[in-house]
Structure 1
Amino acid sequence: MDRLTDHLIVISFDCLSALDLPLLETLPYFRTLLQQGAIAPNVESIYPSITYPCHATIVTGNYPNRHGVINNTLLQPGRLSPDWHWFRDSIKWTTLYDEVKKAGMTTAALLWPVTGKANIDYNMPEIFANRPWQNQIVVSLLSGSPLFQWDLNKRYGHIRKGLNQPELDNFVLESTVDTIKTKKPNLLLVHFTDLDTQRHYHGFSSEEATAAIHRHNERLRRIIEALKDSGIYENSTIVALGDHSALDENKVLNLNVLLHKHNFITTNSKGKLNNWKAYCKSCDGSAYIYLKDPHDSATFNEIAQLLHSLKDNPESGIEQVLSGEKAAEKGADGTCAFMVEAQKGYYFLEDFQGDYLKTITQEDVTADKKYTLATHGYSPEKAAYSTIFIASGKGIHPITLPSIRLIDEGPTLARLLGVSLGETDGRVLEEILTI
């Protein structure tokens, strides 16, 4: 299979929405990509539409229940900060970077989700120290390419302020420019989270979110200039994409509070969870309900009755209740007992004490970053909730495709570099390629 490009730069602007297109058209570097390249202004995300499952889908071409990353975080009932699907072994399928490396090409990834300990030539994975005794830099070094990361941290680490934005993305940008100039990889995966952060903490259409998009335009400029300075721009393809959109909300649902009241969750004298029969695992705008014993039919029936009574109450915040089988049909985790979808304006957390429903203010968000004013994870079928895909450069035929699916991106990216991901859920978008 012939390669259509020599250098593929995939830039994920986390939480970039189809609704952002009018603004992107006014910004010079996004506008250049839009005018010269192919665009899909409506990309259907996956279920649940959250960052780690989405990024695993982008590099595999499969839905979560096939690639294995069915949520951002692991099922660890009672843990205040569950571990994330940081590591490559969470993905039960070949990936774009695996196939590109197998074909003898060089690969690089900067804060791309689910790449910890992946076989990537130049890898700075997205991972954070999740235990009091861990050091952030050491955790990163041990999970990626140590010398590569050490050099970037020496050069640009002063830019960072922990995980705060926009400083984190500014550090990623300098690392990206440096990697392009010094490594010239055939595949470069970059993940920017500035916009996602601002939307979470300030709202979808906030001034802070708009400012983040303007910063992304400047980041795009720097990447384009780096390609030109390196002499590889004419032989490169730039893909700018989003993984999901977001919706404003101001009400939290804590289904575990109800499960606790019904003794499906039990706690000790200090209020710590010590056992559970059923647990609500948040995916933000949706949630899985798991049974500790999947064969516990009595608990299953009681939970079903509870969930359907909530759904019948228009003030419960519950829009839809799916069986595990129905969730699997939508690409989500079929091992759950149920999957619940929040109404617009609501989202799920995992607290098992306190109130079932809490209204959120900006003051709550400022005081505790577990609260947000816009989020995702909802069904991709929700209205005005699609993301965007733009590709420009070598191997790309300028065209507008009215709509595509997130699962179509991986096979298409693989075809640009002359490799295949196998029989995927998605298809190659041959319409945009100069085959």
Structure 2
Amino acid sequence: MKRLTDHLIVISFDCLSSFDMPLLETLPNFRKLLSGAAICKQVKTIYPSVTYSCHTSIITGNYPIQHRITTNTLLQPGKISPDWYWQRRNIKGTTLFDEAKKAGMKTAALLWPVTARANIDFHIPEIFANRPWHSQVAVSLVNGSLLYTIHMNQLFGHLRKGIQQPWLDDFVTAAAVHTIKSKKPDLLLIHLVDLDSQRHTHGYSSKEADEAIRRHDDRLGNILQALEESGIAEKSTIIALGDHSSSDVSKVIKLNVLLKDSGLIQVNEKRQVKSWRAFCKSNDGSAYIYLKHPEDRHAKEKIQALLHSMMRNPDNGIEFVLSGKETGESGADNEADFMLEARAGFYFTEELDGEAFSEITEEDLAVGRYSKAVHGYSPLKPDYETVFIAKGSGITPDVEIPTMSLVDEGPTFARILGLDLGETDGRVLHEILES
């Protein structure tokens, strides 16, 4: 299969929304990228629309039911900080970076989700210290490219403040610029989280979110300049994309409180989960309910009665409920027994204490107890699309696709590199590719 470019650079601007396009069109570096680009302003995300599921769909071309990264974090009932799906081994099937490596290409990835311990040449994975005895530097070194990570931290570690934003994205951008100039990788995957972080903390349309987009414009400019200075711009394809949108929220749903009150979750004197028959796994805007034993008919009947009662009152915040079969048909986890979608303004948490339904207060926001905007909702939510911009070698200029899906991106990237992901849920976007 003919390769259409020597270098593919994919930049994921986490939480970039279709509604951000008017601002992007006014910013110098995004405007430069958009000029002569192939674009889609209405990209349908996947379900649940959480970061790790989305990014795995981007580089596999499959829905979560296929690649099995069905949410961000593992099912660990009662754990205050569950572990995330950090490791490449959690992905079922092949990925874009796997196929590139098999073809002898030089690969690089910076904070791309679900890549820890992947076979990537120049690699700093997205992973954080989740145990009191862990250090951030140590987990990054163990799960990425040892010497490369040490070198990037020697050069640019002063830019970081742990994993806080916007400093982390500044570090990632500096590492990306250096990697482009010194390594000239065939494939470079970059994940920038500043905008997502600001929207969670300050709200969807906040000035902090606006400022993050403007910082992203500067970061994009630095990457474009690096391509020019390295002499590979003419032989490169650059992709800028989002993974999901988000929505402001004012109320939380703590379904595990109701499951506990129904006797389906038992806690000890320290309010820790002692045993459970059913558990609500939050995706923020949606949630799974798992039975510990799928054959537990009594627990399932209790949950069905509870959900039926909740659905009768819109104030409870449940928009719709899917059965396990329907959940699989939506592309989400078919091993869940139920999937719940929150109404606009609501989101789910996994908390076990307090009121089952509560307003988010200013005090909650001040101490970081809850978010001000979240994602994870169904892609069928109105005005919830993200964006896709492609430009450079192998891309037909000035093409606008009315609609596409997030799962179309991986097969298209593979085709640009002359690779094949095999049978996928998504399709190759031939209409943007030069023949």
TM bracket, shorter-chain basis: over 0.9
**Which position in structure 2 is the counterpart of 1:387?**
386
Amino acid at match of 2:45: S
Paired-residue identity, %: 59
**Which position in structure 1 is the counterpart of 2:356?**
356
Partner deviation per Cα, 1:235-258 (whole Å, 9 max, x = no partner): 001100000000111111100000
The correspondence of residues 405-420 of structure 1 with structure 2, limited to 5 A, is 405-420=405-420
**Which position in structure 2 is the counterpart of 1:190?**
190
Aligned residues of 1:285 and 1:377 also touching (Cα < 8 A)? yes
Q: Provide the C-alpha distance between the structure 2 equivalents of 1:312 and 1:114, rounded to a whole number of angstroms.
A: 39
**Which position in structure 2 is the counterpart of 1:30?**
30
Q: Provide the C-alpha distance between the structure 2 equivalents of 1:265 and 1:130, rounded to a whole number of angstroms.
A: 25
Q: Provide the C-alpha distance between the structure 2 equivalents of 1:150 and 1:310, rounded to a whole number of angstroms.
A: 52
Deviation at 1:106, TM superposition (A): 0.5
Amino acid at match of 2:364: D
Partner deviation per Cα, 1:324-358 (whole Å, 9 max, x = no partner): 10010010001111000000000000001111112
Aligned residues of 1:409 and 1:428 also touching (Cα < 8 A)? yes
- DSSP-derived class of the 1:5 partner: coil
Aligned residues of 1:362 and 1:373 also touching (Cα < 8 A)? no
- DSSP-derived class of the 1:59 partner: helix
Deviation at 1:158, TM superposition (A): 1.0
Q: Provide the C-alpha distance between the structure 1 equivalents of 2:388 and 2:188, rounded to a whole number of angstroms.
A: 17
Deviation at 1:177, TM superposition (A): 0.5
Q: Provide the C-alpha distance between the structure 1 equivalents of 2:312 and 2:45, rounded to a whole number of angstroms.
A: 28
Amino acid at match of 1:193: V
Question: Is 1:250–2:272 an aligned residue pair?
Answer: no
Partner deviation per Cα, 1:8-55 (whole Å, 9 max, x = no partner): 000000000001010011011111221211001000000000000000
Deviation at 1:394, TM superposition (A): 0.7
4+ long deviations beyond 3 Å: none
The correspondence of residues 239-318 of structure 1 with structure 2, limited to 5 A, is 239-318=239-318
**Which position in structure 2 is the counterpart of 1:397?**
396
- DSSP-derived class of the 2:12 partner: strand
Question: Is 1:428–2:415 an aligned residue pair?
Answer: no
Deviation at 1:365, TM superposition (A): 1.9
**Which position in structure 2 is the counterpart of 1:338?**
338
Deviates more, 1:358-367 or 1:53-62: 358-367
Aligned residues of 1:202 and 1:362 also touching (Cα < 8 A)? no
TM-score for the superposition, normalised by structure 2: 0.99
Aligned residues of 1:108 and 1:121 also touching (Cα < 8 A)? yes
Q: Provide the C-alpha distance between the structure 1 equivalents of 2:106 and 2:362, rounded to a whole number of angstroms.
A: 45
**Which position in structure 2 is the counterpart of 1:377?**
376
Q: Provide the C-alpha distance between the structure 2 equivalents of 1:137 and 1:192, rounded to a whole number of angstroms.
A: 19
- DSSP-derived class of the 2:328 partner: helix
Question: Is 1:204–2:204 an aligned residue pair?
Answer: yes
The number of equivalent residue pairs is 434
Question: Is 1:57–2:57 an aligned residue pair?
Answer: yes
Amino acid at match of 2:392: G
Cα–Cα, structure 1 residues 411 and 367, in superposed 2: closer, same or farther, change >3 Å?
same
Amino acid at match of 2:114: V
Q: Provide the C-alpha distance between the structure 1 equivalents of 2:330 and 2:172, rounded to a whole number of angstroms.
A: 34
- DSSP-derived class of the 1:36 partner: coil
**Which position in structure 2 is the counterpart of 1:162?**
162
- What RMSD over aligned residues (CA atoms) do the two structures have, in Å? 0.7
Deviation at 1:205, TM superposition (A): 0.5
Amino acid at match of 1:79: K
**Which position in structure 2 is the counterpart of 1:76?**
76
Aligned residues of 1:308 and 1:321 also touching (Cα < 8 A)? no
The correspondence of residues 7-46 of structure 1 with structure 2, limited to 5 A, is 7-46=7-46
**Which position in structure 2 is the counterpart of 1:122?**
122
TM-score for the superposition, normalised by structure 1: 0.99
Partner deviation per Cα, 1:212-262 (whole Å, 9 max, x = no partner): 000000000000000011000010011000000001111111000000001
Q: Provide the C-alpha distance between the structure 2 equivalents of 1:312 and 1:6, rounded to a whole number of angstroms.
A: 57
Q: Provide the C-alpha distance between the structure 2 equivalents of 1:362 and 1:107, rounded to a whole number of angstroms.
A: 45
**Which position in structure 1 is the counterpart of 2:328?**
328
Deviation at 1:364, TM superposition (A): 1.5
Partner deviation per Cα, 1:186-231 (whole Å, 9 max, x = no partner): 0000000000000000010000000000000000000000001100
Q: Provide the C-alpha distance between the structure 1 equivalents of 2:383 and 2:55, rounded to a whole number of angstroms.
A: 21
Q: Provide the C-alpha distance between the structure 2 equivalents of 1:372 and 1:361, rounded to a whole number of angstroms.
A: 10
**Which position in structure 2 is the counterpart of 1:173?**
173
**Which position in structure 1 is the counterpart of 2:228?**
228
Partner deviation per Cα, 1:48-75 (whole Å, 9 max, x = no partner): 0000000000000000010010000000
Deviation at 1:361, TM superposition (A): 3.1
Deviation at 1:383, TM superposition (A): 0.3
- DSSP-derived class of the 1:41 partner: strand
Amino acid at match of 2:409: E
Partner deviation per Cα, 1:371-405 (whole Å, 9 max, x = no partner): 10111000000000000000011110120001100
Amino acid at match of 1:392: K
- DSSP-derived class of the 1:290 partner: strand
Question: Which sections of structure 2, spanning at least 5 residues, go unmatched?
Answer: none
**Which position in structure 2 is the counterpart of 1:87?**
87
Deviation at 1:410, TM superposition (A): 0.3
Deviation at 1:366, TM superposition (A): 2.3
Amino acid at match of 1:297: R
Partner deviation per Cα, 1:301-321 (whole Å, 9 max, x = no partner): 110111121111111011100
Q: Provide the C-alpha distance between the structure 1 equivalents of 2:161 and 2:345, rounded to a whole number of angstroms.
A: 31
Aligned residues of 1:14 and 1:196 also touching (Cα < 8 A)? yes
Q: Provide the C-alpha distance between the structure 2 equivalents of 1:355 and 1:287, rounded to a whole number of angstroms.
A: 18
Aligned residues of 1:121 and 1:145 also touching (Cα < 8 A)? yes
Q: Provide the C-alpha distance between the structure 1 equivalents of 2:90 and 2:286, rounded to a whole number of angstroms.
A: 21
